[in-house]
């Protein structure tokens, strides 16, 4: 296996490859992706030194997470850090970003990936007002305290959203 340059991912304390593998395509949202082909993509990434996979609960309605989970179960030597995203399974309304929904979405992702604790969960480009909500960050802190997630982050669409989010001490990236 190639050793790719590594950097610490935000405030996670975890070193990951400077190049990550995005996995939206594995969900099959743009056409059929055979399991063998999906595993081939993941193998090629790992063999190239990639130690960071990015996915989301909505990629193929969870199929991307499921494939990653099965792949990593068969390749425990891969030492891959998995970031998944949540929040697009519901209508994009600020009132949907609450602890009960987070737990439900998180439980599904943990089952899909076959893990007790997610390495990193990111809010998946939520409505802008969500980035300023104390209750949202309290809920995310609760997921960490419950050991459902090791760290949380945000996936943003604007620099202003990013700056608002990273000002919060619990936001890892």
pLDDT by residue for the chain (173 residues), tens only, comes to 677 999 999 999 999 999 999 999 999 998 999 999 999 999 999 999 999 999 999 999 999 999 999 999 999 999 999 999 999 999 999 999 999 999 999 999 999 999 999 999 999 999 999 999 999 999 999 999 999 999 999 999 999 999 999 999 999 99
Which of 59, 97, 131, 152 does the annotation list as catalytic?
59
The helix (H) or strand (E) run that includes residue 155 is: strand 152-155
Specify the pTM. 0.95
As given in the structure block, the two tokens for residue 98 are: 């609450």
d(CA 41, CA 143): 31
As given in the structure block, the two tokens for residue 72 are: 């990593």
Domains by residue range for the chain, with CATH: 6-166 (3.20.20.100)
Provide the pLDDT for residue 1. Answer: 65
d(CA 128, CA 109): 24
Provide the pLDDT for residue 165. Answer: 95
Q: Is 59 labeled as catalytic in the residue annotation?
A: yes
């Amino acid at each position: 296996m190639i050793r790719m340059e590594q950097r610490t991912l935000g405030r996670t304390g975890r070193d990951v490859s400077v190049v990550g593998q995005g996995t939206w395509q594995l969900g099959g949202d743009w056409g059929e992706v055979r399991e063998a082909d999906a595993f081939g993509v993941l193998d090629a990434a790992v063999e190239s030194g990639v130690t960071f996979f990015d996915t989301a609960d909505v990629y193929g309605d969870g199929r991307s997470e499921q494939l990653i989970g099965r792949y990593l179960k068969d390749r425990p030597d891969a030492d891959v850090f998995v970031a998944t995203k949540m929040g697009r399974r519901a209508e994009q309304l600020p009132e949907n970003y609450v602890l009960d929904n987070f737990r439900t979405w998180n439980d599904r992702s943990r089952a899909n990936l076959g893990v007790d604790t997610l390495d990193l969960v990111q809010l998946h480009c939520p409505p802008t007002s969500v980035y300023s909500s104390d209750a949202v960050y309290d809920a995310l802190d609760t997921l960490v305290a419950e050991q459902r997630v090791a760290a949380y982050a945000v996936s943003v669409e604007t620099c202003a959203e990013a700056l608002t989010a990273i000002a919060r001490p619990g936001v890892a990236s």
